[in-house]
Amino acid sequence: MLRPYVPLLVLLALSVVNAIFMVVLSTVLSPGGATKVKSAPYESGMTPLGNPRERFSVKFYVVAILFIVFDVETIFLLPWAVSARRLGWAGFAAAGIFIFILTVGLIYEWKKGALEWD
């Protein structure tokens, strides 16, 4: 049963080794040393101003929360989708109620302005 996962692990290992190899190789072969100017953050040739990790819009955070809600919805819909034909109309009704509740949530956040970017 777990047989198909073995080649996947081999490929994963190969990819990891490849990534490490690339990083190490370029570090080893890289000429020159770091100077103060070279290692300054790039800001179009000017001296960097302020903190580079400055505060950013809370919108990104809101999007992340909404993503979790709807991604979980997708995950919960998946078992139904795979067996929808066996579950028939009863399963359809149940999934319909689930989708309806989440759609109400979507409308609510829409009206609240959580989806507006300006």
Binding residues vs other proteins (CB under 8 A): 3-8, 10-12, 14-16, 18-20, 22-23, 25-27, 29-32, 34, 36, 38-44, 48, 52-54, 56, 59-60, 63-64, 66-67, 70-71, 74, 77-78, 81-86, 88-89, 92, 95-96, 99, 102-103, 106, 110, 115-118
Phi, psi of 21 (to 5 degrees): -60, -45
Pairwise CA distance, residues 105 & 69, whole Å: 10
Separation in Å, CA 24 to CA 10, 14, 16, 20: 21, 15, 12, 6
Longest dimension (CA), the chain: 69
Smallest separation, CB 48 to other proteins (Å): 8
Smallest separation, CB 108 to other proteins (Å): 13
